Structure 1
Amino acid sequence: MLIARRADTRARADFATWKMMAKLNGASALPQEAQTFLKSYKGLLKQMPETEATEATIKLMYQAYYGEMGGAGTPPELPAQSPVQEKDNVTAFKRPPAPKKAAGRKAMGGTDAKPRLPVALIFASLVVVYVGIQFYLR
C-alpha cells in the first residue's frame, strides 16, 4: 500500500508539472515518457471532460509508476481524491505607488523641517565630552 501511495503522489505531481510545462510551451523539453502521457491526455480530452481526462491520465501514470517502484500485480485502488481543479493563482506584480514627500512624512508622524542639530555640532559636543573626561581622570 505504501508503494501505491507513493506512485499515486508521484503521478499527480508529475502530471501537474508536465501540464504546466505544456501550457508554457516547454513540452518539447520533457522526457519521452511525459510527452507520451500528454499525447494520451490530449486524446482523452476530445472524448471526455477535462476533469475525467485528467483523472484517467493520472490513473494510467499511477499504474506505470506502481510497476516501476516494485509493485507486484495490479495496483490497488486508492480512495478517490477530490477532482483536480485548476485555479489561476498567479498574481500580477504591481509596483506600489510612490509616497508623496509631504504627505508621507506627515503620515508617519514627522515634519518637513530639517533636523534640529547638525552633524558637526553633535561631533563637536562629543569631542568636548571626551576631552572633559580625559581632563577629569588626570
Structure 2
Amino acid sequence: MLIARRADTRARADFATWKMMAKLNGSSALPPEAQEFLASYKNLLAQMSEGAATEATIGAIYKAYYAEMGGAGTPPDVRTRAAEPAADNVTAFRRPESKPKKTGFFGKMSSGGTQPRPLPVALIFACLVVVYVGIRLYWR
C-alpha cells in the first residue's frame, strides 16, 4: 500500500507539472514518456470532460509508476474518500479563561513588565557592594 500511495502522489504531482509546462509551451523539454501521456490526455479530452480525462491520465501514469516502483499485480485503488462538505466552517470566538495571577517571592508579582523588583534583588546588590568595599579596604 505504501508503494501505491507513493506512486499515486508522484503521478498526480508529475501530471500537474507536465500539464503546466505544456500550457507554458515547454512540453518539448519533457521526457518522451511525459509527452506520450500528454498526447493521450489530449486524445481523451476530445472524448470526455476535462476532469474525467485528467483522472484517466493520472490513472495510467499511476499504473506505470506502480510497476516501476516494484509493485506486483494490479495496483490497488488509493483514492481518498471525498470529504463531506462542511455546512459551516466558521468557529465562534470565545474569550480564553482568565488565569489566576501568580505571586512570586514575598507575595509580589513575579511576572509583569512594570512591577517593582522583589526585595531580595536589592539585598543581593547591597551585599555585593559591602563585599566589594570590604575587599578594597582589606587590600590597602
TM-score normalised per structure 2: 0.57
CA distance in 2: counterparts of 1:16 and 1:66, whole angstroms: 18
Give 3-state SS (helix, strand or coil) of 1:9's partner: helix
CA distance in 1: counterparts of 2:81 and 2:25, whole angstroms: 28
**Quick one: structure 1 residues 46 and 76, their matched pair in 2 at CA, closer, same or farther if it must change by over 3 Å?**
same
Amino acid at match of 2:28: S
1:24-103 alignment, distance < 5 Å: 24-80=24-80
Give 3-state SS (helix, strand or coil) of 1:18's partner: helix
Number of residues of Structure 1 aligned to a counterpart in Structure 2: 82
Structure 1 alignment gaps of length 5 or more: 83-138
1:118-133 alignment, distance < 5 Å: none
| Sequence identity percentage | 76
Structure 2 alignment gaps of length 5 or more: 83-140
**Runs ≥4 residues deviating over 6 A:** none
- Supply the RMSD in Å over aligned alpha carbons: 1.1
TM-score normalised per structure 1: 0.58
**Quick one: structure 1 residues 6 and 20, their matched pair in 2 at CA, closer, same or farther if it must change by over 3 Å?**
same
CA distance in 2: counterparts of 1:59 and 1:81, whole angstroms: 16
1:18-29 alignment, distance < 5 Å: 18-29=18-29
Spell out, residue by residue over 1:77-97, the C-alpha distance to the aligned partner (whole angstroms, 9 max, x if none).
113466xxxxxxxxxxxxxxx
Spell out, residue by residue over 1:30-76, the C-alpha distance to the aligned partner (whole angstroms, 9 max, x if none).
00000000000000000000000000000000000000000000100
